Amino acid sequence: MNEPLISDISRPGRKGYSLHSSDLIGTPHSQLIPAKFLRKEPAALPEVPESEVVRHFIRLSSLNYHVDKDMYPLGSCTMKYNPKINDETSSLEGFAALHPMQPESTAQGALQLMHELSGMLGEITGMAAITLQPAAGAHGELAGILLIKKYHEAQKSRRSTLLVVDSAHGTNPASAALAGYTIVSVKSNEIGRTDLNDLKEKLNGDVAALMLTNPNTIGLFEKEIVAIADMVHNNGSLLYMDGANMNALLGITRPGDMGFDVVHLNLHKTFSAPHGGGGPGSGPVGVSEKLIPYLPVPVIEKMESTKGTHYHLTSDCPDSIGRMMNFHGNFAVLVRAYTYIRMLGAEGLRRVSENAIINANYLLSRLDKAYSLPYPKPVLHEFCLSGDLQKKSHGVRTLDIAKRLLDYGFHAPTIYFPLIVSEALMIEPTETESRETLDRFADAMLQIAKEAEESPENLLAAPQTTPVRRLDEAMASRQLNICCR
Ligand SMILES: *Cc1c(COP(=O)(O)O)cnc(C)c1O
């Protein structure tokens, strides 16, 4: 953490490059901008040669942890390796230099890409139509719930409750509340699935929909999904799928075939756009036939005529919920997802999920003797362990285990989520990790379990090897200057 600020390494007169004055094209700014808006003094920009700029940022990037550095087993977040070709295609000038307000006739390639991506996501999910507008998973949830609301309004049916299973991601009840619903929690049973008796009890004429994650946040498939869909539909309610865990299902099974009416995807998880640093995401929403009239506008239509194919944006949808985003969503993420799907093809996508499942079960089989396993194996693409054993016998918490992992060079798993598992450690290796990497991670976890027994103080004092030591987490997320100088 001794890296100085770039303004501190600035020295007057040092330059990255210089332009010969004859290279400057066009009218000088001083003639274009009214004098009152012009600076009196030159901007105090750092003056640093290119070599030092590059080294400065490379050093900073290595202080941080990222998927290009090593395994990132953050459960529920699908931190897979993001192929570099995605960045290559999304920065092609024809995509990157488009202006969202330029005439439709000059953006046909972009519209075609979005139209085709919607088609591919529709095929992957088994849904009748897809909107690409929402900016992230949670935003997709909000869009999906607004669609559900509009549907019931059109049926003249007044319903004010949404059911959410107790293992759900926190965004589910938050999105439901934002859309104005009252949330009722449905219990999980002893095998980590939705408790059908509890669901039956809570289904009544006021329930607009049930929100379900499949596979759920413990990495377990809802085996009774067809029965659940029937119960919900017989009640006149709709079924919403949180599709953040789609990495387990690609080419194997589809939400549409399970009876879901709405599903959101996280392109930045399953379809490999970089995320985790607050960068742009994308949360497309797929719907069944009966919700199509309510989709956000504009909708992309493919028109065939004697002059050829033309893609057209229409907002002529009187029942639409309106816009969810300015313009068309996070387009560069759509290009990345499109590239990813085209690179893999249908067979490749299925192998993604098969390998994600194999990797999770392999890792689990190496760890389930050292840590307690709250729900029986096998799992799909991720699993949840509990640090209960270590807490009861040795007085170390899951937080200490997670912090110690940083000393072994790994990002920590998701901890204390889902809420139904005490001292939860939620691990998702993803398909992009090799057997050797999984073994290195398993060895570190086993070593930590041994340390918990023999030298718990190592865990309590962790991390020791990171740029900063253990932080007051509440403070660190509010006061971003964590530099220890
Ligand atoms: C990530 C995630 C979400 C929220 O998605 P964002 O893209 O982060 O808004 C919702 N549900 C589950 C299960 C998730 O893992």
**Per-residue model confidence as pLDDT tens digits over 22-54:** 555 667 777 788 989 988 998 889 999 999 999
Task: Average the pLDDT over 171-195 and give the result.
Answer: 97
Within 8 A by CB and 6+ apart from 33, the residues are: none
Closest residue by Cα to atom 15, ligand 1, is 76
Could you tell me how far CA 149 lies from the centroid of its own chain? Answer: 24
Number of the ligand 1 atom closest to the C-alpha atom of 283: 7
Domains delineated in the chain = 6-63 (no CATH), 84-343 (3.40.640.10), 354-475 (3.90.1150.10)
CA angle 188, 126, 417 (to 5 degrees): 30
Rounded-to-integer distance, Cα 344 and Cα 327, Å: 29
For residue 2, how far is its CA from the centre of ligand 1 (angstroms)?
A: 35
Residue whose CA is at the smallest distance from ligand 1 atom 11: 169
Q: Would you say the CB of residue 242 lies under 6 angstroms from ligand 1?
A: yes
Of 50, 121, 455, whose CA–CA distance to 282 is shortest? 121
Tell me the pLDDT band of 485, cut-offs 50, 70 and 90: very low
Distance from C-alpha of 391 to C-alpha of 395, rounded to nearest angstrom: 5
Share of the chain above pLDDT 90, in %: 87
SS3 string of 117-181? HHHHHHHHHCCCEEECCCCCHHHHHHHHHHHHHHHHHHCCCCCCEEEEECCCCCHHHHHHHHCCC
User: 281 in ligand 1 pocket by Cβ < 6 Å?
Assistant: yes
Provide CB contacts within 8 A for 226, sequence distance 6+.
258, 259
* Residue 430, ligand 1, Cβ within 6 A: no
Region of poorest pLDDT, from 34-43, 121-130, 238-247, 435-444 = 34-43
CA of 138 to the centre of ligand 1 (A): 6
pLDDT of residue 120: 98
Could you tell me the distance, in angstroms and rounded to a whole number, from the CA of residue 465 to the centre of ligand 1?
30
Best probe residue, ligand 1, of 145, 164, 169 (max atoms within 8 Å of C-beta): 169
The pLDDT assigned to 1 comes to 66
Q: Is the CB of 284 under 6 A from ligand 1?
A: no
Window from 12-16, 89-93, 128-132, 218-222 with minimum mean pLDDT: 12-16
Of 96-100, 159-163, 176-180, the one with minimum mean pLDDT is 96-100
CA–centroid distance, residue 95 to ligand 1 (Å) = 27
Q: In what order do the strands lie in the sheet with 161-165?
A: 129-131, 285-287, 262-264, 238-242, 207-213, 161-165, 182-186
CA-to-CA distance for 187 and 195, rounded, in angstroms? 6
Please tell me the distance from the alpha carbon of residue 106 to that of residue 62, in angstroms, as a whole number. Answer: 41
